[in-house]
Amino acid sequence: MHSVTGAWRPAVGLCALALCGAVWAQTPSQDPPGRHEVKRMDVPGAPGKQIVVEMNEFKPGDGLDRHSHPGIESGYIIQGAMVQQPGKAPVMFATGSLLSNMPDVVHGGFKVVGDTSLKAFSVYVIDRDRPLYDWVK
């Protein structure tokens, strides 16, 4: 789902793994728990841009504060799970769903509920001189 407004559109894919139901406090330079950076490389022919590849696993009960990224985020849900935004009914992030977020768009606001971990593979094309996560205060 594309999350330009932060709305969930499961038929299109999934909102990026950026959550608002703060289970823990994050600082601007802190990576979320469950994040594993796989690779980072310069974009050929695009000075100041990098590609970042990461794997994420959010276990039941894990959540993530709202944030944005300094570039495009695209991803794939490897293992789906039930997630819940504050004050809303749980929804399924289905295995095989796609996620996408545009640069500097705040997205997220969920916590993993149920018994299954949410696993996702994400690729970013970002500005090299900015942190990957810009946490909303």
Q: Does domain 35-135 have CATH number 3.30.750.24?
A: no
Q: What is the pLDDT of residues 83-134, one digit of tens each?
A: 998 899 999 999 999 999 999 999 877 899 999 999 999 999 999 999 999 9
Summary mean pLDDT of the chain: 81
The separation between the first and the last C-alpha atoms of the chain, rounded to the nearest angstrom, is: 24
**135 closest CA partner among 11, 35, 22:** 22
Predicted confidence at residue 58, as pLDDT, reads 94
> Quick one: average pLDDT of 64-81?
93
- What radius of gyration, in Å, describes the C-alpha atoms of the chain? 14
Residue spans of the domains in the chain: they are 35-135
- C-alpha angle 45/77/59, rounded to 5°? 120
CB 56 within 8 Å of CB 79 = no
- What the block records as the tokens of 9 is 């559109």
